[in-house]
Amino acid sequence: MKWFAIVLSFTFIGTTILADVRYSCVELDRISLSADGRMSPAFPGRILNFLQEGQNLTGDGVFYHDIYHVTLDGASGFRARAQSEERDDLYWLDAGILFHTAIIKYRSEPVIQSQAFACMVVE
């Protein structure tokens, strides 16, 4: 009986944790690094909108994969990762700040891109 209660608890927590949430974000900073140097955008402050649907993340700007591994991180945050032949992406949402880092391998030399966004839940 205890085993059933534990499994039921994890099932309930899992569906609660990964409920559908829509976010609206504003870029705070961005940088790209390569062996040739670094670059920051001429016009920071781009808008990012995304939806977290369980293990799926969809949106504009930094979400390029079909499958993500999403885990809860605190009461209102998550960590996620995704990988393909061309790029590896890491995401961390904490206290309304989304950090995203990508290692992009489809160019002649690998590039690391990192961004930080201030995000709000859209009701």
pLDDT in tens, 45-56: 899 999 998 888
Q: 100: buried, middle or exposed (CB in 10 Å: 19+, 13-18, 0-12)?
A: buried
> Which residue do the tokens 């032949």 mark?
85
**Token pair 């995000």 is at which residue?**
119
Considering the entire predicted model, what is its pTM? 0.79
pLDDT at 10 over 50: no
Q: How is the chain split into domains, by residue range?
A: 19-122
More confident call, 93 vs 42: 93
The predicted structure's pLDDT at residue 42: 74
Torsion angle of C-alpha atoms 54, 56, 58, 61, degrees rounded to 10: 120
The DSSP 8-state label assigned to residue 55 in this structure reads T
Question: Per CATH, which fold does 19-122 belong to?
Answer: Lipocalin (2.40.128)
Say if strands 87-94 and 78-83 run parallel, antiparallel, or are unpaired. antiparallel
